[in-house]
Amino acid sequence: MKKHLFKIIYLSFSVVFLIGCSSDNDSKDEVIVDPPTQEDPLTTTNAATYMVDASATKETVALFYNLKRLGKTKTAIGQQDAFNSFYQDAGGESDIKKNTGFDPAVLGSDFMFITDKNNNEQSSNWFYQQEQKIIADTKAAYAKGMINTFSWHLREPNKEESFYASDMTAQQKATAFKSILPSGANHEWYKKKLDKVASVISNLKGSNGELIPIIFRPFHEFDGSWFWWGADYCTAEEYKKAYQFTVDYLKNTKGIHNILYAYSPDNSYSTLEGYLTRYPGDKYVDVLGMDNYGDLNNGSDGYNSANAKLKMLSIAASTRVKIAALTETGYQVTATTPPINNWFSTTLYNVLHDNRVFDLQFNTISYVMFWNNSKDGYYVPNGTVSNASDFKTFAEKPRSALLNSLPKMYEMPK
Helix axes 170-179, 236-248, angle to 10 degrees: 50
Confidence at residue 40, expressed as pLDDT on a 0 to 100 scale: 72
Do the Cβ atoms of 238 and 219 come closer than 8 Å? Answer: no
- Going by pLDDT thresholds of 50, 70 and 90, the confidence category of residue 28 is very low
Side chain identity at 234, as an amino acid letter? C
Catalytic residue of the set 188, 328, 396, 411: 328
Spell out the residues 6+ positions from residue 192 whose beta carbon is closer than 8 angstroms to its own. none
Q: DSSP alpha helices (H): ranges in 145-286?
A: 170-179, 187-202, 236-248, 272-275
Cβ 224 vs Cβ 230: under 8 Å: yes
C-alpha 254/C-alpha 194 separation (Å) is 9
Q: Tell whether pTM > 0.85.
A: yes
From 407, 400, 396, select the one nearest 367 (Cα to Cα). 400
At 291, which helix (H) or strand (E)?
strand 287-292
Across 136-148, average pLDDT? 98
**Average pLDDT value for the chain:** 90
Determine the Cα–Cα distance for residues 250 and 238; give it in Å rounded to an integer.
18
Active site residue 411: no
Residues 30, 74: Cα–Cα separation, whole Å: 10
Average pLDDT over residues 218-246: 98
Instruction: List pLDDT tens digits, range 151-161.
Output: 999 999 999 99
Count of CB atoms within 10 A of residue 205's CB? 13
Q: What is the pLDDT of residue 263?
A: 98
Domains of the chain: 2-405 (3.20.20.80)
Cα–Cα nearest to 368, from 298, 296, 319, 275: 296
**Contact criterion met (CB below 8 Å) for 338 and 383:** no
Name the residue type at position 100. Answer: T
Residue 333: predicted pLDDT: 98
* Residue 359: closest CA among 319, 321, 328, 320: 319
pLDDT band at 7 (very low <50, low <70, confident <90, very high): very low
pLDDT at 327: 98
Measured from the Cβ of residue 82, the count of other Cβ atoms closer than 10 Å reads 27
3-state SS class at 136: helix
The stretch 342-368 carries a mean pLDDT of 79
Question: Would you say 90 and 375 are in contact if contact means Cβ atoms under 8 Å apart?
Answer: no
Q: Is the pLDDT of residue 58 over 90?
A: yes
Q: Please state, in angstroms and rounded to a whole number, the distance separating the CA atoms of residues 355 and 16.
A: 11
Can you give the pLDDT at residue 354? 83
Residue 362 has a pLDDT of: 55
Confidence of residue 355 (pLDDT cuts 50, 70, 90): low
User: Quick one: what percent of the chain has pLDDT higher than 70?
Assistant: 88
What is the pLDDT confidence band of residue 2, given thresholds at 50, 70 and 90? very low
Q: What are phi and psi of 209, to 5 degrees?
A: 85, 0
* pLDDT of 296: 95
Residue 250 near residue 52 (C-beta atoms within 8 A): no
Higher local confidence (pLDDT), 178 or 13: 178
Please count the other Cβ atoms lying within 10 Å of the Cβ belonging to residue 29.
Answer: 7
Pairing of strands 333-334, 377-378: antiparallel
In this prediction, residue 286 carries a pLDDT of: 98
DSSP H or E run through 388:
helix 388-396
- Residue 121 falls in the annotated catalytic set: no
Candidate list 188, 221, 273, 411, residue with the active-site label? 221
Average pLDDT over residues 229-242: 98
Give the model's confidence band at 4: pLDDT under 50 very low, under 70 low, under 90 confident, else very high.
very low
pLDDT bin (cut points 50, 70, 90) of residue 125 is very high
Where residue 34 falls among pLDDT bands split at 50, 70, 90? very low
In angstroms, the CA 32 to CA 398 distance is 11
Give the pLDDT confidence of 66-96 residue by residue, as tens digits. 999 999 999 999 999 999 999 999 999 999 9
